[in-house]
Structure 1
Amino acid sequence: MHITDAFDSGNIDVLDAAQPDQIRLEIRKDNGSDFYQWFHFRVTGAAGTPLSMAIENAGGAAYLEGWPDYRACASYDRETWFRVDTRYENGVLTLHHTPQADTVWFAYFAPYSMERHLDLIAWAQGHADVQLEVIGNTLDGQSMDLLTVGEPSAGKRTLWVTARQHPGETMAEWWMEGFLGRLLDDQDPVARVLRDKAVFHIVPNMNPDGSKRGHLRTNAKGVNLNREWDKASQENSPEVFHVLNRMRETGIDLALDIHGDEALPYNFIAGGEGAPNFDAKGQALLDGYKSALCVASPDFQTAHGYDVDAPGTADLSICTNYLANEFRCLAMTLEMPFKDNADLPDAEYGWSPERCRKLGAANLDPMLALVDRLR
């Protein structure tokens, strides 16, 4: 039996793998930080053998509330990811599975590799309305890719969509596949009308370094990008620095930042209600977007989510709060679960890449419903 994490987004340390029913593992911390929770590893040579894999440092992970009722993801082909029996007790997360093939991959959520990211942007640039450019480099020298859909003109709105500031939240880039797939579908009437009314600036992956390194929450330097928006710098957070500079060039009418939540088994939106410049119009737009998305997708709901900040108390280092305040635009954070959607559970797959894609596609409907009201 062989266990490895020596690949894109891999993360696991093997303490002991002498016995398949007593495998001892640990998750590595994000470089330069104390965050950890993302794991991704491969087991080979155990077909038909019951495995018991104990992640012994799970009790020190970033979000302990993410472990109860959680089930790990597994795949034989790295395309279809199913859930496996997972238990959290006394600070140890234990995965139980009997592989049906020679090699099986396990992960915190279905991984989204940098190679797949490159495939996504290469596919998108094939559309006549899409421009692909590199707006800067990360600390590890990777490209910050920006897709621009459409040409600015008088009366057109400016919409920004960003994903994966936290690299372990891979559901965000799966969401992007669905969003881009529908937005660039010339047979979809909603997409066609939206592209007539708005220019889209899309960053499918805000954190390439953390993604490749197998981080949960930070970039190569251990910096949480979603706490950098009021102080972004080339030294610590070039990813935010370059995107924010471009945002200031284009302006923003709507900003949607895509994330995943470890604990809550729901899809929900957090707005910028606590930003000093948030006003009644902003509240009406936020409420309108959430209502329209509820109609577009039964996977979305508004009963569960984060507590709303009191007026004027928002943390402006967070993307949504900062953009709502500086640009006085409709700014939102869309959160998806690592676990499942408790309103529509799926015992075999949980919340999955396919459901992420469908929710991404569904967001075109509230965008169309509100686009004319954004100014």
Structure 2
Amino acid sequence: MTTLSITDRFDSGNIIVKDASDPQAISLEIRRDHRSDFFQWFHFRVSGARDTALSMRIINAAEAAYLDGWTDYQACASYDRETWFRVETRYEDGVLIIDHEPELDTVWYAYFAPYSMERHQDLIAWAQTHPAARLDVLGDTLDGQSLDCLTIGDGDKSIWITARQHPGESMAEWWVEGFLTRLLDDADPVARRLREAVTFHVVPNMNPDGSRRGHLRTNAKGVNLNREWDKATPENSPEVFYVLEAIRRTGVDLHLDVHGDEGLPYNFIAGGEGAPNFTEADGAMLDAYKSALEAISPDFQTTHGYEVDAPGSADLSICTNYMVNEFRCLAMTLEMPFKDNADLPDPLHGWSPDRCRKLGAANLDAMLAVLDAI
């Protein structure tokens, strides 16, 4: 008889097994980010459960970072780690309960489809083979990993893309994969035009350490990178420090920071309207970009999003606020859901890697639409 086995001992794994003696009452906890109280990301493997009804209870879900994230949430599962589908999930009395009967011997469960550091290596290796691309290491992380940056094109304008400051927001690197795949497509006229006019600087993963460790929000030291932009240091937040050093060398006309949102079931963009230096012209450019993307992709909308900060009240430790204020560029935060796009739902897959990639590709059209204005 096969013994039930649950493990998180792999890249981005995160789960604590409290009791797995009864498949119908498996008790689990999510591990907190190192030196931090943040947690919500989970990723684990279950073996020996073919044709066995599982009820997996994450008993510390009520202490997670974003309780709104559990409302109408469905966990991700995969047999091959390529195709991820949603499974029955409910939040009751402070416990997240995942019910599933695996059809095969081993199944992986995750908060969202993971983007492994191994896949990251494959992505940058593939991208650097294109004649228009160059791969640079901006510096080393606290765990000694490389902070990779792809430079693409040779135009006068400078566009920076950063993704996955929060490592559990793996949809951000799926987005980058779609963005790069189209940008490096020599048969795509939009990509060719943009590469002539723009030099792109793309950091596919701002937080390699947190990604590998299975963190939700912080780096190896427990620091939230998206609260470090006005005070980054090599000791606490080398990831932000080295990116800012590079931006000061290259200049920047447009900066897009790619994230995922636990609670809102929509794709949306947040701007830096509350930054002291934000102007009416900045607002017009921001609106033009959002309108262009909304016209291109039915998966993007402008009705739902974050409340706009009052003028002059923005937190300048946050990337987009800092960038628009310091560099006077078009700076934006693009958010994608952990759940599904409520405007265009897919009950089987929810918001998925494929849809992330397609939204990433669609942003090239939006960039072309505002190219003359930035």
Quick check: 1:158 aligned with 2:158?
yes
Shift of 1:151: 2.6
Which amino acid is 1:14 matched to? V
Match of residue 86 from structure 2: 83
Match of residue 263 from structure 1: 263
Which amino acid is 2:259 matched to? H
Match of residue 221 from structure 2: 221
Deviations 1:68-87, CA, capped at 9 Å, x for gaps: 10000000000000000001
Equivalent residue in structure 2 for 1:47, among 28, 33, 50 = 50
What is the distance in 1 between the residues matched to 2:283 and 2:26?
51
Match of residue 73 from structure 2: 70
Which amino acid is 2:233 matched to? S
5 Å-filtered alignment, 1:102-251, equals: 102-151=105-154, 156-251=156-251
Task: Give unpaired runs (5+ residues) of structure 1.
Answer: none
* TM-score normalized with structure 2 length: 0.99
SS in 1 for 2:24: coil
What is the distance in 1 between the residues matched to 2:182 and 2:153?
15
Quick check: 1:24 aligned with 2:19?
no
What is the distance in 2 between the residues matched to 1:118 and 1:200?
19
What is the distance in 1 between the residues matched to 2:258 and 2:335?
6
What is the distance in 1 between the residues matched to 2:369 and 2:222?
39
Which amino acid is 1:68 matched to? T
CA contact (8 A) 2:154 2:195 kept: no
Deviations 1:75-133, CA, capped at 9 Å, x for gaps: 00000000000010111000000000000000000000000000000000010010001
Match of residue 331 from structure 2: 331
Shift of 1:197: 0.8
Which amino acid is 2:359 matched to? L
What is the distance in 1 between the residues matched to 2:19 and 2:373?
59
CA contact (8 A) 2:175 2:359 kept: yes
Could you list the structure 1 runs, at least 4 aligned residues long, displaced by more than 3 angstroms after superposition.
none
Shift of 1:150: 1.8
Quick check: 1:368 aligned with 2:371?
no
What is the distance in 1 between the residues matched to 2:212 and 2:183?
27
Equivalent residue in structure 2 for 1:93, among 93, 96, 115 = 96
Deviations 1:175-211, CA, capped at 9 Å, x for gaps: 0010000000000000000111110000000000000
What is the distance in 2 between the residues matched to 1:296 and 1:6?
41
CA contact (8 A) 2:154 2:196 kept: no
Equivalent residue in structure 1 for 2:60, among 57, 62, 83 = 57
Shift of 1:159: 0.2
* TM-score normalized with structure 1 length: 0.99
What is the distance in 1 between the residues matched to 2:304 and 2:167?
24
Match of residue 297 from structure 2: 297
Match of residue 280 from structure 1: 280
Deviations 1:160-185, CA, capped at 9 Å, x for gaps: 00000000000000000100000000
What is the distance in 2 between the residues matched to 1:181 and 1:219?
27
Which amino acid is 2:100 matched to? H
What is the distance in 1 between the residues matched to 2:354 and 2:190?
21
What is the distance in 1 between the residues matched to 2:282 and 2:171?
27
Task: Give unpaired runs (5+ residues) of structure 2.
Answer: none
Which amino acid is 2:271 matched to? G
Which amino acid is 1:52 matched to? S
Which amino acid is 2:277 matched to? N
Which amino acid is 2:115 matched to? Y
CA contact (8 A) 2:154 2:197 kept: no
SS in 1 for 2:300: coil
SS in 2 for 1:195: helix
5 Å-filtered alignment, 1:4-23, equals: 4-23=7-26
